[in-house]
């Protein structure tokens, strides 16, 4: 039987996408290396004069409860082949999980994973480097993020052999919840999913098992005696932090979020705003939708203006409403700071409002509006630490991953609208067989 033309075309696209993914993994692996930074060197020599369990016990007592993540880091950092393989594979696995959760009905695996991988590469380059391609950062950020996504993917996709999927999901959730930001995001997502399934009178065994496993892991990590000692030691980075009121601490979190949102290198947020601004008026014609789309268009325009103003000879021009450095206490009452923060809040609010306008049911409302809100909350969470500025860019990674997930959902919606439009113009159109093996509807 002859292969349809569309089928041959998709097979060609899949082959090219698979090759590009392999090239991407090889390129990532070749560029990896240990840095002279204190963290890499500390863990490289952590087991020189003591065993692994002795090292982890001392870390649990004196510094952190992330014993699973730090155990893997200390045991493997000296073997370059391990992390040179693991980092590209985990990056690809993260893209695959997001494809599976969002785009698997519209795009085949290789091409869909490639689309998500490109979106991951749009994350601010310094954030991506510190959280994914720096060896110590990988074990503390990208690895637990991947484990959290894998846990959700297994629960959503498994239709057969569900007990095995639940067991694996619980195991990887234990690893994921060793990282505080990932634990916050994963437990929030699983709690909402459990509530929605309870409202539909569906089985909750898998969700409850994962919630219990992840919650126990997070509790063991957060209650480690070393956390209190670490907090005292880290006050050297920001001695005034302990005396700040809660409102001032949250203002610091908003500052980190604002600087990140206003950065010209934040191409992911520009893409997300452009997709939302294009989709929202086509799916909803209310005044709220028009206002939200207008704010997002203004943000995209400001990003374009920012790039243009940074052409050679114009580097000194400030970005529209932007700030270039972390907020200092003396600047809290500066009018320009609050203009910038107000613009950032308006953009993030527009993302949530546009998602609410596009929602067709309660599930799509909670997922669509919840992802950007959860991204903001997980980033603001770092305001509780005195290392809010000293921790660099990696603390922004979890929020950015949630925005990638949201962007992938918007791409999925865009492709679905195109498919529906094509079906209206071609009533006799029959979907190609290449789409017959898409993933099952999430449970």
Whether the CB-CB separation of 275 and 115 falls below 8 Å is answered with no
Q: In the prediction, which pLDDT does 311 show?
A: 47
What does the DSSP 8-state code read for residue 395?
A: G
Residue with tokens 């953009």: 347
* Inter-CA distances, 314 with 73, 262, 270, 308, 318, Å: 44, 18, 22, 8, 9
Tens of pLDDT, residue by residue over 346-396, are: 999 999 999 999 998 888 899 999 999 999 999 888 888 888 877 778 999
Q: In the prediction, which pLDDT does 310 show?
A: 66
Smallest CA-to-CA distance from 29 within 179, 149, 138, 175 is with 138
Tens of pLDDT, residue by residue over 35-93, are: 766 788 999 999 998 999 999 999 999 999 999 999 999 999 999 999 999 999 999 99
What does the DSSP 8-state code read for residue 384?
A: G
Token pair for residue 20?
């590009």
Q: In the prediction, which pLDDT does 406 show?
A: 96
**Hey, where are the domains in the chain?**
240-311+319-389
Q: In the prediction, which pLDDT does 427 show?
A: 55
What does the DSSP 8-state code read for residue 48?
A: S
Residues of the chain with confidence (pLDDT) below 50: 1-3, 311-325, 429-443
Rounded CA-CA distance 321/194 in Å is: 41
Token pair for residue 314?
């114009």
Residue with tokens 């569906």: 202
- Phi, psi angles (nearest 5°) of residue 197: -65, -35
pTM reported for the whole predicted model: 0.89
Q: What is the DSSP string of 299-359?
A: HHHHHHHHHHHTSTT-TTSPPTT---SPPPGGGTT-HHHHHHHHHHHHHHHHHHHHHHHH-
């Amino acid at each position: 039987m002859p292969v349809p033309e569309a089928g041959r075309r998709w097979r060609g696209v899949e082959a090219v996408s698979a090759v590009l993914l392999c090239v991407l993994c090889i390129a990532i692996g070749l560029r990896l290396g240990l840095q002279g930074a204190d963290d890499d060197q500390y863990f490289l020599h952590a087991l020189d004069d003591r065993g692994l369990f002795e090292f982890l016990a001392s870390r649990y007592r004196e510094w952190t409860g992330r014993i699973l993540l730090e155990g893997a880091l200390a045991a493997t950092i000296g073997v370059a082949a391990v992390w040179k393989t693991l980092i590209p594979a985990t990056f690809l696995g993260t893209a695959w999980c997001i494809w599976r959760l969002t785009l698997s009905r519209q795009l085949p695996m290789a091409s869909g994973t490639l689309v998500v991988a490109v979106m991951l590469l749009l994350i601010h380059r310094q954030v991506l480097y510190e959280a994914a391609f720096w060896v110590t950062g990988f074990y503390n950020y990208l690895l637990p993020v991947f484990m959290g996504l894998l846990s959700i993917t297994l629960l959503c996709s498994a239709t057969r052999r569900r007990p095995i999927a639940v067991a694996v999901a619980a195991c990887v959730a234990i690893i994921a919840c060793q990282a505080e930001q990932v634990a916050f995001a994963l437990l929030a997502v699983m709690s909402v999913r459990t509530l929605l399934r309870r409202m539909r009178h569906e089985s909750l065994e898998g969700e409850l098992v994962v919630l219990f496993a992840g919650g126990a892991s997070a509790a063991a990590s957060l209650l480690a005696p070393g956390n209190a000692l670490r907090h005292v030691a880290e006050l050297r980075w920001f001695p005034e932090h302990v005396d700040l009121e809660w409102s001032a601490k949250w203002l610091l979190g908003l500052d980190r979020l604002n600087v990140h949102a206003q950065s010209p290198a934040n191409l992911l947020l520009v893409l997300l705003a452009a997709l939302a601004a294009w989709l929202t008026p086509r799916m909803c014609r209310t005044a709220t939708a028009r206002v939200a789309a207008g704010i997002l268009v203004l943000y995209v325009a400001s990003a374009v203006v920012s790039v243009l103003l940074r052409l050679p000879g114009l580097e000194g021009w400030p970005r529209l409403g932007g700030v270039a450095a972390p907020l200092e206490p003396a600047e809290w009452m500066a009018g320009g700071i609050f203009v910038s923060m107000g613009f950032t809040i308006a953009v993030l609010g527009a993302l949530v409002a546009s998602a609410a306008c596009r929602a067709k049911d309660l599930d799509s409302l909670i997922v669509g509006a919840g992802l950007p809100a959860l991204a903001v909350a997980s980033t603001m969470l770092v305001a509780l630490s005195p290392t809010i500025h000293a921790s660099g860019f990696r603390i922004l990674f979890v929020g950015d991953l949630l925005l990638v997930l949201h962007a992938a959902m918007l791409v999925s919606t865009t492709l679905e609208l195109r498919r529906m439009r094509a079906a209206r113009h071609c009533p006799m159109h029959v979907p190609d067989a290449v789409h017959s093996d898409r993933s099952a509807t999430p449970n």
